[in-house]
Structure 1
Amino acid sequence: MLTETDFIPKSFTKVAKNGTVVWSAPSNIALVKYWGKKPGQIPANPSISFTLSECKTITKLSFEKKEDDGSFTFDFLFEGQPKQSFRPKISTFFERVKKYVPFITQYHFTIDTQNTFPHSSGIASSASGMAALAVNLMSLERLLNPDMTNEYFYQKASFLARLGSGSACRSIKGSVVIWGQHEDTPGSSDLFGVHYTDVNEVFKTYNDTILLVDKGEKQVSSTLGHGLMEGHPYAESRFAQAHENLAAIKQALSTGDVDTFIKITESEALTLHAMMMASQPYFILMKPNTLAIINAIWQYRAKTGVPVCFTLDAGANVHVLYPENVSVKVLQFIKDELICYCQNNQYICDKIGTGANQLI
């Protein structure tokens, strides 16, 4: 089992003066939710997620060796334009990772990033954005240490991504990813995400249609939301529940038990929102149209037997999950009955993906 010290490089065998690398990294949607964290971006409970395919961040990292190696210097562009508001988050990330990628003070970086989904769509981009930046930095490290194994590359990329945004560690490698130590999952770690491979065929082609109920800014930041679990009256029970649900959903994913998958996935989504409603201060993140969609899905599933379900992130948008073999029926249901609840009738069709991908 790798520890933090294993990610601190001892030496480099090569020199890189300048260059450019480009990676894409996707968003992910948790099935068993991570909510609450310990110092150092350590999760209070383990989680498991589907990696998405189409909702992703594409980041180009250009680097040039400089004379002064004492501080971070970088230019940041979002969709080709300078974006000053993003700089503090990048600076914080660099501070957190410099121990593990000490060469970053030796280069001036130009970070040019864009999302394949609209920035105002209400879909969190921290996971995909930090994951994309992490794999770019690892590409630079691999130039300095060409003997690096692929396993180490992806584990360290996940480790670095976690230090930028906890859930970003689940966007690096694999279609189904577990993050957080779990007694029934050998090799699981609080430090990085682990690709879970014992997945039945039915789940390998799952679809995720994201209904954009509210495209506004998040009412509660992730940092604040996780912080509300400290001293929460139901925190310990929730953390125990997450361990139990992770064991059960792993079994469902392995055996193709769609009914159990649906029960756990929907329960986890509602539990996340219940924890926010029971926090101090308390928040209701769902909108009336969120509830209307949930009720419509339940009624449709009861009436037709089609195995469609929902999950939510910490917001109002609804992720509609379903197997590929019922996609025609579900998409027609979405068009006929659900898009009327979406802001400007907007939704995004996505599916399960494989993780980060190097483009250049």
Structure 2
Amino acid sequence: MKLNITRQFLVAVIGIFLLAVVLTAGKLFFQPNVIKFHIPNHLYNQDTIFSCRDYLEKIGAIVTFDEKAQEITIQTGLDSYYLEIKTDSVQGIPIYVDNVYIGKTPVKKRLSAGKYVVVAKNSGHVSSIRYLTLKPEIASVKQIILPVDQKNYEGFLDEIILFGYKPIRVMDYYNHAPITKKTIVLRHDVDVSAEDALAMAKIEHLRGVKSTYYFRWCTADPEVLKEVRALGHEVGLHYETLADYSLQYHLKSAQDITSDVKQELRRRLKTEIVHFRQQYGEIYTIASHGAKENIRLGVTNYQAIMAGENPYDYNIIGTAYGPITQHFTYMSDSGGIWEPFPYPKLESNAGPFYILIHPIHWASGLSR
């Protein structure tokens, strides 16, 4: 009880201090003003800071924090919008605005006009993202509801089967499988754990679902690949040839990827495919991996190597990117965040779909 009283006292003291700063700034709420100041270390915590922020935002200020510098910035006199953020199925979900944590739902945040990325990120579940543009014609108070997927992978599969969709492998598309509005190309990038992929493959097999699993060299466990293939799934190479080359030769930018470099990358990828096939069995398609080096360079492995290439020159029938994506509505759980959130589109029969799912983002709900 004593701790609670002390905490409330600190909140009140800081609130009064901030209000005093605001009021002494002179006409602060009638013309644009910015105040920035440091908060002592022993007072800087989420309980005190968030309480003060909520108080100031209620009276029209825009408050931002720099946690590293332990600084608070207060802006007033701007057109602003009071954003109320909730989640659909359950509250208490952490919310981030432009990668800054603002609290758990339901949460309110005052923002100025502009563009924002709002993310509901629930550990252990696949969450969602919203690209938000606040314009002068928008009401000063705006409410958004972000969906959060509480289902485990079994629940997700049962949902798409209930909707009447038929998942196929990437290789099935290139082998001219019939495509209807009820078709889903179901793909998995195995970035971290082969065991998670195997657990997911078994769940699909029990439901008569076949999909494609792309393994990196570092996740390609021969016994797992053998078992995944035996369950009827496609196995392919998740190649990162450009990223590996960049780390080896210290490429500085996309301009370093010359035509000669591209030719070398293509030669290397052809060799990789041969070696992968020798070690792990037949493969028919490949998928580009998005490594940190690709993000730094601003160029994907596909763009640097396979764009415009004939897959048959690599002794494969196709790739997971390129022309195939033009024929489907693409959805992905990259980063553990659905983009876009799939269920409204699935329910509205807006297929066919191409869905990329990473086993690592569903690991907490996979039965082994």
Normalization by structure 1: what TM-score?
0.23
From the CA coordinates, give the structure whose radius of gyration is larger.
Answer: 2
Where relative contact order (Cα < 8 A, 6+ residues apart) is larger, the structure is: 1
